Amino acid sequence: MGNRSSGAGQADDAGSSDAPPLADMLDLTQRPNILFQVFGTRDQPRLLPVAALSGAQLKPIVLDADGWRRFDAMYMRKGKSYTLYRDGNTDGTAQIVRGMWDGNEPVYELANCKNPIPLAMVKLEGDRAGGFAVEMLASSAQLGWQHAAQPAQSANLAESMRRATAEAVDAAMNPVLDSLESRALAIPTGAGPAPTLVAWWIDSVATSGSSPKAMTRHMFVIADKDATGTYRATFAHKVFGPLGETEFRRYLDHLDLTGDGVDEIILEGWRFGGKTYLAILGFKAGKWEEIFRSRSDWCVG
């Protein structure tokens, strides 16, 4: 059995030695707002461009080698700062301390790649989260809403999520869910008055398997209340197949990126032995679907 996802995927942008068509390139003269990902360790966080924010759309950042140099000089030079976002609202700032090409050597290099996507060193200021690892969003745009979601009753969340999941998965997979590592949480997305439920299950093969032929199980489910007040699955990504052919998902954050009053849900996706990417889900006609996927290849030529 292969992977099945209710989201409509967007193909990854692969690195190429040829310059992209002029019509596809981002117009930097318009100084578009940019969405960044901040990641790494707390003492060495990094900032990576993800997408351009154009009205109610997220657009891939397509530039040639010279364009990425201009982008770095415009958006990632020392002294620039961007608002950090976590859990749908602001959470401090990211202050750039070194752009990609500020010094004699770039911040990082990739083997067999002349033109990697720029990466900046940053310092975090005013964020409320602790911990060693950093996973946040940042932007030059003003984003975020304070959603007044109904309080989630923790005693009922597990049962509601399990019931919604049971309806979304194949009957043969239901008995094995209890044997998988899992996590669930409730988030105020604005998709309805009640919080949105998010849960994912993953087996030990996915985290420690060494053979791409090994069979693995993985589930990622989102649920929202319907008109009757019952939680129903509004997105499901289901896997039971070879490890080497599997795409995994995990929840990262939620934030209104399109300005419609409903948060997008940001996931991290990855493959066995492969690179990671961000998959961004939007809420349309009562369902969550993938509206943007970041590139997984950081080499642009």
Q: Give the CATH number, domain containing residue 254.
A: 2.40.128
Q: What is the mean pLDDT of residues 225-247?
A: 90
Mean pLDDT of the chain: 86
Question: Residue 211 burial by CB count (10 A; 0-12/13-18/19+): exposed, middle or buried?
Answer: exposed
Q: What is the mean pLDDT of residues 3-14?
A: 39
Predicted local distance difference test score (pLDDT) of residue 77: 95
Run of H or E residues at 36: strand 33-41
Query: What does each C-alpha distance from 257 to 54, 88, 146, 160, 248 come to in angstroms?
Result: 10, 10, 14, 28, 23
Residue 74, SS3 per DSSP: helix
Residues 151 and 135 in one domain: no
Using alpha carbons, select from 153, 148, 139 the residue that is nearest to residue 255.
139
pLDDT digits (tens, 9 = 90+) for 33-50: 999 999 999 899 999 999
Q: Is the pLDDT of residue 9 over 60?
A: no
Are 67 and 117 part of one and the same domain?
Answer: yes
Residue 147: predicted pLDDT? 66
8 A C-beta contact, residue 116 and residue 299: yes
Segment 158-205, tens digit of pLDDT: 778 777 877 777 666 667 777 788 888 999 999 998 999 999 888 888
The answer to whether residue 14 scores a pLDDT higher than 50 is no
Q: How far, in Å, CA of 51 to CA of 36, rounded?
A: 7
Residues 119 and 193 in one domain: no
Region 79-108: what's the mean pLDDT? 93
Final residue before a domain boundary, out of 107, 139, 171: 139
Residue 211's pLDDT band (boundaries 50, 70, 90)? Answer: confident
Domain range enclosing 278 = 4-8+147-293
Per the model's pLDDT, the better-predicted residue between 171 and 93 turns out to be 93
Task: Looking at the structure, tell me whether residues 288 and 172 fall in a common domain.
Answer: yes
Rounded to 5°, angle at Cα 160 from 270 and 167:
65
Q: Is residue 300 part of a domain?
A: no
Q: Residue 118: inside a domain, yes or no?
A: yes
Which range is least confidently modeled, 91-95, 131-135, 265-269?
131-135
pLDDT digits (tens, 9 = 90+) for 101-122: 988 899 999 999 988 999 999 9
CA–CA gap between residue 121 and residue 98 (Å, rounded): 5
- Asked which of 121, 139, 157 is the last residue of a domain, the reply is 139
Q: Are 258 and 57 in contact (CB under 8 A)?
A: yes
- Residue reference for tokens 């770039």: 106
Around Cβ 161, how many Cβ atoms within 10 Å? Answer: 22
d(CA 196, CA 215): 30
Q: pLDDT above 90 covers what percent of the chain?
A: 55
